[in-house]
Copies of this chain bind each other. A is one copy, B any other.
Amino acid sequence: MGDRLEEFRKFRERMNARILESDNLEIKRFFALDTRAYDAGALPVKTKELLGLVASLVLRCDDCVTYHLARCQEEGVTRPEFLEALHIGLVVGGSITIPHLRRAVATLDELDGL
C-alpha cells in the first residue's frame, strides 16, 4: 500500500478517535449512523459502497472517494465496474470532477499495487 494511502488512513483514524473521545454525544451518533448506512440490508454492501463512491465523486470530496474506493475493492468491485461507476459520476457532475477522477484512478492504481 502506497505512502499517501497509509498517511490518509493514519490521519483519519487519529482524528476519528480524537472526535469520538470528545463529550459531544450527537457527533458520535452521527458517526455511528454514517457507518450503519453501508451495512447489508435490502441492498447488498457492494451496491451501497458504489452509491457512496459516486455520491462522493459528484460532491468532489477526495478523502471520501479514497475511502469508498478502498471499501469497494474489499467488496470485489472490478476495474471495469469502477470505471462505469466513475463515468456516471463524471457525466452527472461534469468536467469539474475530472481532477478528482484523475486522483481516483491514481488511488485505484495504488490500491492495486500498480
Interface centre among A38, A60, A95, by most B CB within 10 Å?
A95
Given contacts A42-B78, A59-B59, A94-B94, are A48 and B105 in contact (CB under 8 A)?
A: no
Q: A24-B83, A29-B33, A78-B42 are in contact. Are A96 and B94 (CB under 8 A)?
A: yes
Answer yes or no: A76 CB below 8 A from chain B CBs. no
Give Cα distance in the complex from A89 to B62, angstroms.
Answer: 17
- Complex CA–CA separation, A93 to B56 (angstroms): 9
Total count of chain A residues near the partner, CB < 8 A: 64
Within 8 Å by CB of A33, from B43, B48, B89, B91, lies B91
The verdict on A6 contacting chain B, using a C-beta distance below 8 Å, is: no
Which residues of B have CB within 8 Å of A19? 101-102, 105
Contact yes or no, B33 A81, CB < 8 A: no
Closest CB of chain B to A37's CB: distance in Å? 5
15 new A-B contacts at CB < 8 Å, known A37-B91, A91-B94: A15-B103, A18-B106, A24-B87, A26-B87, A27-B90, A31-B98, A34-B91, A42-B80, A42-B83, A47-B50, A52-B88, A54-B54, A59-B93, A59-B96, A94-B95
